[in-house]
Amino acid sequence: MAITRSSLGLAKASKSLAAAACGALALAALLAWRRARRARRWPPGSFGWPLIGQTIEYMKDPGAFRISRHAEHGGTFKTSLLFSPTVLISPIEANGKFFFSLKALGWPYWFKLVIGETALPMIEDPMHKRIRTLNGRAFIDAQLDSYLPQLQELTAKHLNLWAAGKRGQGQPCDLYFDIKLYAFDMAQTVILGVDMPVERADRLMRLFTTVTSGLKALIHVEIPGLLWHKVMSCRRQLVGEYQEVINTRREQLRLGSKPTSMLDIMLTADDVNGDVELQDFCIAMVFAGHDTTLATMQSTLYWLSKQPAVLAELRQEVLEAWDGSSQLTRETLGKVPKVRAFIQEVWRMTPPVVIASRRLEEESVIDGYVVPKGWKVNYSAALVGQKAEQPNEFRMGRYLDSSGHFVDQTFEPWNFGAFGGGSRMCVGYKFARDEMLVFMIQLLRHFSFTVASAQAVKFPFNYWRVSGTFSNCL
């Protein structure tokens, strides 16, 4: 067969076409390989010491630990905390959505022994779904409205006690235990429906304080002399006390008493599996509900004391919204948008719970990094708070629109992280806000105070511990 010039040219052209195609394929393969290699990289950061990793440094100041490493690594980073490899993800919206879709919890196993094997914050599906629905009945709007008179009464009682006591005589005192007793009294009265003498409430509160100190314990064997032994023995006493409350309320309900408290709602539900679930309900709700409120109240006094002009503005708003004696209602709470905005800014600046934690049930790619199955993933309210414009400035105006209406960001956990999000979002957030509003409205209407000193507390809750004085003013 004769070979013509044109068929030679055709052969040459198809050869170079094939070479170009091969080159393109090789380049694509190289790029895919590089992408895959990049994606297989674990996040930057260091695990620290064997076993304890960077736990000690973390416990000193979890917020600063996160913020400094986040800045150092330009976002998501790995570390090792509480005996587990952990990734702290940067708080961009996509990560927030991914994080809050995760179901498995990342808390260390001993948290469950402290708070309760069937306690809502410690359990996973399908039990979580059942108990969450059950517990959620205590926080529906009609129930929340019914708690307001008790909140108002207890708040008046405690604020008057502070003003009449040592701190009312011009001598600055540490307010921690006064505020803790108030937050604890509210939690016990509204959650458990018991009106205890102050001495018994105080004793239970101290038992509770020891029990929750178990969250920080790094050795978990019950040997006399070790913290864990004390923690477990106080927990058994607390369970005994709450079982007594359960028995009494159960009997009163049987005799026709009207259900009022959160515990009553549980006692009258038919899908509770035995008394351990009820005991864990009491411990979990009082635990989740009182230290967080205590932390917020102290930080509130701190931030108010730093801004006398804002304090005066809020006082004026309260004077216009409430006559100082009538029953506080949902309507009254709706008339103080600046107070609401102030509380939300306190939670942004000083989130009481700085971390939410989950466990990866399968290998995942986060921010382009591979995170292996079984690792913990943490999402930090402290980092979310830093996303705001000029994050270190306290500005309640962030949460007021141009008409002065309150802008609620509770359901945007990538912009406001204090209550977490998704199916494990704080079940008590509306109740917490009611407690804070009732506290601030009465505080601003009737009392004046000074903060003589404040100390930043970082773990296990984040807040300003304040010392000061208190007096009736209006």
C-alpha angle 364/367/368, rounded to 5°?
Answer: 70
Closest approach, Cβ 102 to ligand HEM, in A, equals 10
Burial class (CB in 10 A: 0-12, 13-18, 19+), 127: middle
Cα-flanking dihedrals φ and ψ of residue 172, to 5°?
-60, 130
Comparing C-alpha atoms, which of 143, 144, 145, 114 is closest to residue 269?
A: 143
CB-wise, 134 or 163, nearer to ligand HEM?
134
CB-wise, 138 or 163, nearer to ligand HEM?
138
Closest approach, Cβ 140 to ligand HEM, in A, equals 13
Q: How far apart are CA 142 and CA 75, in angstroms?
A: 43
Q: How far apart are CA 100 and CA 420, in angstroms?
A: 8
CB-wise, 77 or 419, nearer to ligand HEM?
419
CB-wise, 217 or 355, nearer to ligand HEM?
355
Closest approach, Cβ 45 to ligand HEM, in A, equals 22
Closest approach, Cβ 436 to ligand HEM, in A, equals 7
Q: How far apart are CA 62 and CA 68, in angstroms?
A: 10
Q: What single-letter DSSP state applies at residue 43?
A: P
Q: Report the residue closest to ligand HEM, judged by CB.
A: 428
Q: How far apart are CA 121 and CA 116, in angstroms?
A: 9
CB-wise, 378 or 442, nearer to ligand HEM?
378
CB-wise, 385 or 421, nearer to ligand HEM?
421
Closest approach, Cβ 258 to ligand HEM, in A, equals 21
Cα-flanking dihedrals φ and ψ of residue 327, to 5°?
-65, 130
Can you spell out the DSSP letters for 158-219? Answer: HHHHHHHSGGGGT--EE-HHHHHHHHHHHHIIIII-----HHHHHHHHHHHHHHHHGGG-S-
Q: How far apart are CA 382 and CA 402, in angstroms?
A: 27
Q: What single-letter DSSP state applies at residue 423?
A: G
* Three-state secondary structure string covering 247-275: HHHHHHHHCCCCCCCHHHHHHCCCCCCCH
Q: How far apart are CA 450 and CA 170, in angstroms?
A: 9
CB-wise, 296 or 298, nearer to ligand HEM?
296
Residues that bind ligand HEM (CB under 6 A): 120-121, 132, 284-285, 288-289, 292-293, 296, 352-353, 356, 418-421, 424-428, 431-432
User: Is 282 annotated in some ligand binding site?
Assistant: no
Closest approach, Cβ 227 to ligand HEM, in A, equals 25
Closest approach, Cβ 132 to ligand HEM, in A, equals 5
CB-wise, 178 or 435, nearer to ligand HEM?
435
Alpha-carbon distance values, 355 to 49, 413, 417, 421 (Å): 22, 12, 9, 12
Show the tokens assigned to 442: 């009465």
Cα–chain-centroid distance for residue 41? 31
Closest approach, Cβ 67 to ligand HEM, in A, equals 18
Residues annotated in the binding site for heme, as ranges? 426
Residues annotated in the binding site, as ranges? 426
